[in-house]
């Protein structure tokens, strides 16, 4: 493997890791605060992608500026997170926080199945594709290989912005500090008068919006198909478990490891590509069962 291929594998790995990170970070954020492993997280990813692709297709066909594709992604992500994620937390999850972990997982799994059928009902089964955003940014040539600027530059930049934004938001803003307080010690936070219910709702909406943003960004590069949410949820579980549940920077580093591992596999040993994320997870959990960055906790899923 020469230097050129090595560099290419890194470039490929980074752009893939960016998407995986966006979905996984929402999942880990929700878990960190709500202590619920949200299986329906994959649905937000899929619905974000469907919404962006279908609305985008409609407005570009109507002749609007293709640059609207970028604000559309943010609008779609926030709408999906708020209008679908909000009611799910408010009316369903808020009733089950006192129940056992297994029951919580079953409930979110049920929500996932309902939302899968909801997608079929609304968008049908034919794959959708809407690559206006990607085409707007053009291509970049690296070592004689053509990349889309969208995947090479835009996605990693968005991922880094989200990472920095979350970090700053959680440390510097009042809401962020409230969220951090509830994450650290729920009982103590409630005792000093923090409205935990509100914190839960906000966290869930932010987490769901991040998953939807992942889907919105992915919709420019991939076919939006039934079942895409299920694939993503499995991969982001692997990321979150490897990183340690609730670890935001950990999710970023693990997503990068998995992205790079996967692209190196394609260059060196394509047969192993599918296994790589799980081998990394397996290796890490064997040595550190709490995950790379997770602390020891009394409560475990």
Q: Which one of 65-73, 80-88, 248-256, 261-269 is the stretch in contact with other proteins (CB under 8 A)? A: 261-269
Among 83, 113, 114, 127, binds other proteins (CB under 8 A): 127
Adjacent-strand bridge partners of 147: 140
Count of CB atoms situated within 10 Å of the CB of 16 = 21
- Please state the closest distance from residue 100 (CB atom) to other proteins, in A: 28
Among 184, 231, 249, 297, binds other proteins (CB under 8 A): 231
Q: Which one of 75-83, 183-191, 195-203, 265-273 is the stretch in contact with other proteins (CB under 8 A)? A: 265-273
- Please state the closest distance from residue 137 (CB atom) to other proteins, in A: 10
> Does 16 help bind other proteins (rule: CB under 8 A)?
yes
Site size with other proteins, rule: CB under 8 A: 45
Adjacent-strand bridge partners of 224: 128
> Does 139 help bind other proteins (rule: CB under 8 A)?
yes
Nearer to other proteins, 36 or 152 (CB): 152
> Does 115 help bind other proteins (rule: CB under 8 A)?
no
Those residues whose C-beta lies under 8 Å from the C-beta of residue 6, and which sit 6 or more positions away, are none
- Please state the closest distance from residue 109 (CB atom) to other proteins, in A: 16
Give the x-and-dash track for 28-47 against other proteins (CB under 8 A): --------------------
Binding site for other proteins (CB under 8 A): 4-5, 8-9, 11-13, 15-16, 19, 120, 124-127, 129, 131, 134-135, 139, 144-148, 151, 218, 221-228, 231-232, 262-263, 266-267, 270-271, 273-274
């Amino acid at each position: 493997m020469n230097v050129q291929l090595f560099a290419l594998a890194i470039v490929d790995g980074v752009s893939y890791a960016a998407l995986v990170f966006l979905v996984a970070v929402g999942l880990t954020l929700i878990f960190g605060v709500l202590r619920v492993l949200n299986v329906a997280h994959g649905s937000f990813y899929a619905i974000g992608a469907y919404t962006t692709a279908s609305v985008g297709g409609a407005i570009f066909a109507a002749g609007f500026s293709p640059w609207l594709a970028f604000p559309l992604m943010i609008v779609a992500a926030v709408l999906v997170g708020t209008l679908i994620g909000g009611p799910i937390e408010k009316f369903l999850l808020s009733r089950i926080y006192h129940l056992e972990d297994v029951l919580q997982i079953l409930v979110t799994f049920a929500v996932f199945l309902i939302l899968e059928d909801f997608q079929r009902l609304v968008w049908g089964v034919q794959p959708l594709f809407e690559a206006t955003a990607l085409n707007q940014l053009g291509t970049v040539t690296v070592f004689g290989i053509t990349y889309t600027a969208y995947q090479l530059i835009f996605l990693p930049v968005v991922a880094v912005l989200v990472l920095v934004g979350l970090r700053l938001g959680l440390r510097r803003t009042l809401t962020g500090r409230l969220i951090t307080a509830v994450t650290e010690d729920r009982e103590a936070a409630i005792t000093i008068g923090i409205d935990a219910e509100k914190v839960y709702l906000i966290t869930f909406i932010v987490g769901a919006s991040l998953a939807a943003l992942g889907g919105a960004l992915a919709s420019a590069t991939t076919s939006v198909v039934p079942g895409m949410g299920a694939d993503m949820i499995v991969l982001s579980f692997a990321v979150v478990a490897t990183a340690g549940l609730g670890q935001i920077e950990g999710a970023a580093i693990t997503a990068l490891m998995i992205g790079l591992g996967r692209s190196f596999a394609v260059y060196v040993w394509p047969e192993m590509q599918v296994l790589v994320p799980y081998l990394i997870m397996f290796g890490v959990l064997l040595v550190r069962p709490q995950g790379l960055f997770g602390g020891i906790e009394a409560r475990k899923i």
